[in-house]
Chain A
Amino acid sequence: MPPFSCTPLGEQALLMQFEQKIDAAVLRRIMAMEQLIQTHLPKGIRELIPAYASLAVLFEDEHWTYRKLAEAMLDLGKLIPEAIRHLPKGRTHEIPVQYGGRNGPDLTTVAQKLKLTEDEIVERHIRRTYLVYMLGFLPGFVYLGKPDPALHLPRREKPRLKVPAGSIAIAAEQTGIYTLESPGGWHIIGRTTQNLFNTPQASNKKKKPEEAENRSPSLLRRGDWVKFVALSQATT
């Protein structure tokens, strides 16, 4: 049996739902399935939108009906165990972070809420190596898992309208990076100055779609690993 179920997401998309948990094995199954779709069914597939434990397949209705596509997916899903073996090994990135102060305005309140010192929070945050699970929500937001259970806490009650680019945040069993300035409801504990999301210079020229497709704007890709390195506090 393939490790997912299919359901429609509107008239022109099929949603594959895997085991609903944040888990490296689930991520690899989804990545393998994407590879399989790109290799075996490139026709009539517009776009794939992967998330933690699901994959949306946007299809052209001239080529596919939902039903036919679901059958094709369930068939293709049988090849997942084999495809997983050919997945590239993720790269590991070291990201320098300044924790606390104006770079991590929520560190103090997070420490109070979790009954830990600020140093202990930082210590626990840098101790782990995180897996890049997905990019989504807004351009460049990177979802990483999983932090030390001692760092789990719900989102901020009031989301911020503006979170600066490079902010490192925690919420629930996740840690994330706002690689572009955006609104956000997670707790900001630090910030990196490393450029993680690259928007090409605006142009007035059209580019061939294939040319654009193959370039990831994000330094961090799904399946990569991230290690945070604490920088000593800059004097302000």
Chain B
Amino acid sequence: MILVRRAGAFTSIQDLGRPGYRRYGIPLGGALDRISARLANRLVGNGAHAPLLEMTSTGPLLEFQAEMLIALTGADFQAKLNGLPVPRCRGLLVCAGDLLDLGTARKGYRAYLAVAGGLQAQRHWGSCSTYSPAKWGGLRGEALRGGDLLQVAAQLPLRLRHATQVEQKKTKHPLTLSCLPGPEWDSFSVQSRMDFFQQIFTVHSHSNRTAIRFREKWLPDKKPRQLLSSPVLPGTLQLTHGGELLLLMHDGPTTGGYPRLVVLTEESLHKAAQLAPNQKVVFTLQKQSTEKEWLYL
């Protein structure tokens, strides 16, 4: 068992989400930075879908009550185990009484903690991912609170593994997010489209698992029309009527009526999961997609 002595800003149990139910309005959900989540699980010998902790911005303080194998991946939170720095991206054996203090995100925004055997959590629609709007998954369907006890779902033979740390390069300012044109992209003028790629956008602090917002507005020279509610995916960049940009993430709606400017590539979607407030970004078209012929058949 693991005692949550302090919960942190937003710490929740996630796995790889609940695919297959979007036709009922049920979002995909799950870990936002799936590369880091998969890596953490692999390092402790878990399957890719094992429930683990996603920690955002400020991490929790955890007290282990038994010996277990853990791994920490994702953003660098400068975590300390019993006061000593913890290496990331490798299996670590912890003992009963050990204290893991996750600290605060220095590079990136979300870190992942996997425990050999996976965390126990309630399962809705085939997934333990916490989706707080409907109170599904996780513990009570909500983020962790101080005093919570986390149970390990299964005992696994412990095998220490490590991965070569792919150190995030010093975050570039601005970060480039690669994308494909969205279905409504062509309804904007050439001038507006060029302006969009030249503009620098700043991540707003009102960003969450539903959407990343930006401080700057983007006002095309022609007012976009309202659409019939249409499918959207994590990585879809919507333009609201007020000119606000919404980059939808995994807990976001399944359909929407705002124009879909661009859709991020899978690689850039993982990068976006690590965007912290005030980080600056620019968008760029993925090379392949500049070939018109590839786009419209």
Contact = CB atoms under 8 A, between A and B. Distances in A.
B266 A11 contact: yes
A136 B260 contact: no
Contacts of A66: 294
Nearest to B288: A11
B19 interface: yes
Contact of A204 (B123, B295, B297): B123
A49 B125 contact: no
Contacts of B20: 46-47, 209, 212-213
A74 interface: yes
Given A70-B297, A204-B122, A212-B125, 11 more contacts: A10-B264, A20-B227, A46-B19, A49-B254, A54-B230, A71-B297, A136-B22, A136-B23, A136-B255, A138-B253, A139-B26
Nearest to A208: B126
Among B19, B136, B227, B231, max chain A CB count under 10 A is at B231
10 contacts: A6-B296, A10-B266, A47-B23, A48-B23, A52-B230, A56-B233, A137-B253, A137-B255, A200-B124, A204-B123
A20 B187 CA distance: 15
Interface in B1-53: 19-27
Contact of B231 (A9, A46, A143, A182): A9
A205 B255 contact: no
Contacts of B126: 206-207, 209, 212
The 8 closest A-B pairs by CB, nearest first: A136-B255, A202-B122, A10-B263, A56-B231, A49-B231, A52-B228, A70-B297, A136-B25
Contacts of A12: 266
Interface in A1-56: 5-13, 15, 17, 20-22, 46-56
Nearest to B140: A202
A54 B133 CA distance: 26
B133 A135 contact: no
